[in-house]
Amino acid sequence: MTAITQPAEVSDQGHGLEGRNVSDAAFRGVLTVCAAAIPILMGFLVWELYAGSRLAISRFGVRFVTTSIWDPVAEKFGALPLIFGTLLSSLLALLIAVPLSLGVAIYLTEFAPERIRKPISFLIELLAAIPSVVYGLWGVFFLLPFLRTSVFPFLKATFGFLPFFQGPIYGQSMLAASIILAIMVMPYIMSVSREVLVSVPNSQREAALAMGATRWEAVISAIVPYAKSGIIGAIILGLGRALGETMAVTMLIGNRNEIAASLFAPGYTMAAVIANEFSEAASDIHFSALSYVALVLFLVTVLVNAGARILIWRTSRGGPQGGRGI
Amino acid sequence: MTSTLEIPVMTPPPTPPIPVPSRLGQSPVKPRTEANYAIVVKDFSFHFGARQILDGLSFEVPRRAVTAIIGPSGCGKSTFLRSINRLNDLTPGSVYAGEVLVDGTSVFAPATDLVALRQRVGMVFQRPNPFPKSIFDNVAYGPVLNALVPKRDLPDLVERCLRAAALWDEVKDRLEDSALGLSGGQQQRLCIARALGNQPEVLLMDEPCSALDPIATQKVEELIFELKQNYTIVIVTHNMQQAARVSDCTGFFDRGILMEFGDTQQIFTAPKQERTEAYITGRFG
């Protein structure tokens, strides 16, 4: 056999250059369809939400997000307390979760003995895998009684002069929901910020220490600033999770549609009202109002995320990793 | 490469010296014989776990001069350098034996204040590692951290350090820009300026030019030559021409042992040890 005849044979069998171009194009086409599915799905989702809530939009318009009465019998719907509840519970959750998570992440990367770093990181990641309804049950059976008998009375006695810690203590409350949310988002913030801190190059650590920084000063003045944009990314991940969390919040927040100054008072969130009332929505307008709530929740989430991303983009300009990993 | 390297004579342009606060008062009783030495190494050994890295080093590093440490990869040069400011402490399993004295004070004594030690003994690393902060904040890092000068004197100090690091003219109009926007050579000179910000007595340089191009290398070498008027410099280098050009004394390390220590001229022209000659003529390493 001569070398000249060989390529012809190969090409006849369909393994020539031409065949490869075709398979490449097909592969590329399949991947393009996969990628295009995301914006299409997104558009479909928004359209569907809009279509479902058209009735409520035409009846209530913008007043829907500025009024507070939610009365399915009288067919009056105002979602302001829901928006307030969603934002406040998420914000409080972050206030509790961020310092704790960062503390754990810094401890694990900088101070913990080598042999316990891996097991603890693993446990943290395991926490993130627990279904939210389990957190909710735990909240109802353990956390609520504990808060009602120990923590809330203490807060009331100590900080009772503030309007946030006044009024009757039921247990189910904005604060209880925020605490369970904090517990739920902590694993996310912890494990992502731990990874970001681990990826800070050793040269930065050494630079700070060689300048006479203590371990603690090195963390505060060099390591955390280096990881800043990644840590903000971790917090946003937690925020996104807190905004949309439904089950555990519904079980602990008390589900009352009003804006109260006191954190001991029950509240309501957008996700919780949808979960509670969707299966029982009797009238078209009730159904449509719930759809409208979903649309608002979607918009709030998008706005908050966009704002947070702008924040990252601003802080990471000229930074080391340009908002890497977000 | 031959064993008769020429040592070029550089004439540094005059620069205003950075006033170095005298800390001699801290240990008033000092043996006369050690007064001229900034660092005294006495029978110093070092282990990582069971592995011996350095074995029985003894030599003296002269004050306000450049001392080069040369030797093949893995001979313990960097480990030695990082012992002087105890940066090896970060690695678990580090064990010291013997003595390293900086200005007569033992580096390993339990009472030694690491923060004060590292402020007096600055370090420049192999790769430029500026903080992702502004140029100004990089130089001001040490003075702010260690509260060395009142806040209003900071701009002055930063300018002096940047001038001493021969970087001032290049960055004076963009002190608030990120240090990461500088070129590699500028970043390394910024790291030197940052180390000077602490007003140290000793500068440790761990292959400071290995990540730089030839022109940037030349600038850093000129800078080292100038800095020795005010600072004691210990430089680890793989580049033998560099050692010959910038240093006054040279120590040759081989497999954790100090094979030879002496005047750079003597080491490079008339080495006493066969092993030294073999290394500097490029027969191994």
Beta strand B121-124 with B51-62: parallel, antiparallel or unpaired?
Answer: unpaired
Q: In chain A, what is the straight-line distance between the N-terminal and C-terminal CA atoms, in Å?
A: 58
Helix/strand/coil for A168: coil
Angle of helix A17-60 relative to helix A284-316, nearest 10 degrees, comes to 120
The answer on pLDDT for B196 being more than 90 is yes
Q: Is residue A10 part of a domain?
A: no
For A182-228, how does the pLDDT look when each residue is reduced to its tens digit (9 = 90+)? 999 999 999 999 999 999 999 999 999 999 999 999 999 999 999 98
Q: How confident is the model at residue B73 (pLDDT cuts 50, 70, 90)?
A: confident
The answer on pLDDT for A11 being more than 60 is no
Q: How confident is the model at residue A16 (pLDDT cuts 50, 70, 90)?
A: low
Query: Any idea what the CATH number is for the domain that residue A283 is in?
Result: 1.10.3720.10
Q: Is residue B15 part of a domain?
A: no
Q: What are residue B284's DSSP bridge partners?
A: none
Cβ atoms of B235 and B54 within 8 Å: the answer is: no
Q: What's the structural domain count of chain B?
A: 1
The answer on pLDDT for A102 being more than 70 is yes
The answer on pLDDT for B232 being more than 70 is yes
Q: What's the structural domain count of chain A?
A: 1
Q: What pTM, to 2 d.p., does this model score?
A: 0.79
The answer on pLDDT for B15 being more than 80 is no
- A225 inside 8 A of chain B by CB: yes
Task: Provide the edge-to-edge strand list for the sheet that holds B66-70.
Answer: B121-124, B202-206, B232-236, B66-70, B249-254, B257-263
DSSP code of A267?
Answer: -
Cα distance between residue B236 and residue B68, in whole Å: 6
Mean pLDDT of A100-113: 93
Kindly provide the ipTM of the predicted complex, given to two decimals.
0.82
Domain ranges, residue B142: 36-280
Q: In chain B, what is the straight-line distance between the N-terminal and C-terminal CA atoms, in Å?
A: 13
In a 13 Å sphere around the CA of A78, the CA atoms on its Cβ side amount to: 11
pLDDT of residue B147: 86
Residue A141: which residues within 8 A CB-CB, separation 6 or more? none
A3 versus A160: the higher-pLDDT residue is A160
Beta strand B37-48 with B94-102: parallel, antiparallel or unpaired?
Answer: antiparallel
The answer on pLDDT for A324 being more than 70 is no
Give the one of A210, A221, A226 whose C-beta lies nearest to B87's C-beta: A210
pLDDT of residue A18: 61
Mean pLDDT of B107-112: 88
For residue B188, give how far its alpha carbon lies from the nearest alpha carbon of chain A (Å): 12
The answer on pLDDT for A51 being more than 90 is yes
pLDDT of residue B281: 86
Q: Is residue A26 part of a domain?
A: no
Nearest CA in chain B to A225: B132
List of chain A residues whose C-beta atoms are within 8 Å of the C-beta of residue B198: 211-212
Q: Is residue B257 part of a domain?
A: yes
Cα distance between residue A183 and residue A93, in whole Å: 8
The answer on pLDDT for A84 being more than 90 is yes
A16 versus A242: the higher-pLDDT residue is A242
pLDDT of residue B31: 41
For B88-99, how does the pLDDT look when each residue is reduced to its tens digit (9 = 90+)? 888 888 899 999
Give the one of A206, A209, A212 whose C-beta lies nearest to B146's C-beta: A212
For B23-59, how does the pLDDT look when each residue is reduced to its tens digit (9 = 90+)? 433 443 334 445 678 899 999 999 998 889 999 899 9
Count other C-beta atoms under 10 Å from residue B6's C-beta. 11
CB contact under 8 A, B115 and A225: no
Give the one of A114, A206, A320 whose C-beta lies nearest to B125's C-beta: A206
pLDDT of residue A317: 62
Q: Is residue A29 part of a domain?
A: no
Helix/strand/coil for A71: strand
Burial label, A145 (beta-carbon count in 10 A; 0-12, 13-18, 19+):
exposed
pLDDT of residue A3: 46
Residue B129: which residues within 8 A CB-CB, separation 6 or more? A201, A203, A204, A206, A207, B191
Nearest to B199 by CA among B231, B172, B155: B231
Give the one of A205, A212, A226 whose C-beta lies nearest to B142's C-beta: A212
Cα distance between residue A210 and residue B146, in whole Å: 12
Cβ atoms of B141 and A204 within 8 Å: the answer is: no
Q: Is residue A265 part of a domain?
A: yes
The answer on pLDDT for B6 being more than 60 is no
pLDDT of residue B86: 92
For A140-151, how does the pLDDT look when each residue is reduced to its tens digit (9 = 90+)? 999 999 999 999
User: What percent of chain A stands above pLDDT 90?
Assistant: 62
Burial label, B271 (beta-carbon count in 10 A; 0-12, 13-18, 19+):
buried
Least confident of A3-17, A18-32, A209-223, B91-105: A3-17
H/E stretch holding A76 reads: strand A76-77
- B93 inside 8 A of chain A by CB: no
For B122-166, how does the pLDDT look when each residue is reduced to its tens digit (9 = 90+)? 999 999 999 999 999 999 999 999 888 898 999 999 999 999 888
CB contact under 8 A, B180 and A217: no
Q: Is residue A36 part of a domain?
A: no
Looking at this protein, which amino acid is placed at residue A227?
A
DSSP code of A227?
Answer: T
Q: How confident is the model at residue B285 (pLDDT cuts 50, 70, 90)?
A: low
Mean pLDDT of B168-190: 92
Domain ranges, residue A137: 61-316
The answer on pLDDT for A319 being more than 80 is no
- B131 inside 8 A of chain A by CB: yes
Which tokens sit at A297? 């929740």
Mean pLDDT of A110-120: 90
CA B124, distance to chain mean position in Å, is 7
Q: Is residue B23 part of a domain?
A: no
Q: Is residue A141 part of a domain?
A: yes
How many CB pairs (< 8 A) connect A and B?
A: 72
CB contact under 8 A, B178 and A319: yes
DSSP string, chain B: --S----PPP-PPP-PPPPPPP-GGGS----GGGTTEEEEEEEEEEEETTEEEEEEEEEEEETTSEEEEE-STTSSHHHHHHHHTTGGGGSTTEEEEEEEEETTEESS-TT--HHHHHHHEEEE-SS----SSBHHHHHHHHHHHTT-S-GGGHHHHHHHHHHHTT-HHHHTT-TTSBGGGS-HHHHHHHHHHHHHHT--SEEEEESTTTTS-HHHHHHHHHHHHHHTTTSEEEEE-S-HHHHHHH-SEEEEEETTEEEEEEEHHHHHHS-SSHHHHHHHTTS--
Q: What is the mean pLDDT of chain A?
A: 87
Q: Is residue A279 part of a domain?
A: yes
DSSP code of A156?
Answer: H
Nearest to B236 by CA among B67, B97, B111, B19: B67
Cα distance between residue A163 and residue A293, in whole Å: 29
pLDDT of residue A320: 54
- B85 inside 8 A of chain A by CB: yes
Mean pLDDT of A19-38: 88
Query: Any idea what the CATH number is for the domain that residue B85 is in?
Result: 3.40.50.300
The answer on pLDDT for B77 being more than 50 is yes
In a 13 Å sphere around the CA of A89, the CA atoms on its Cβ side amount to: 43
The answer on pLDDT for B1 being more than 70 is no
Nearest to B226 by CA among B21, B6, B14: B14
The answer on pLDDT for A83 being more than 90 is yes
For residue A210, give how far its alpha carbon lies from the nearest alpha carbon of chain B (Å): 6
- A276 inside 8 A of chain B by CB: no
Q: Is residue B2 part of a domain?
A: no
Q: What is the mean pLDDT of chain B?
A: 85
Mean pLDDT of A57-83: 90
Query: How far is the CA of B135 from the CAs of A31, B119, B212, B216, in angstroms?
Result: 45, 20, 19, 18
Give the one of A212, A222, A318 whose C-beta lies nearest to B180's C-beta: A318
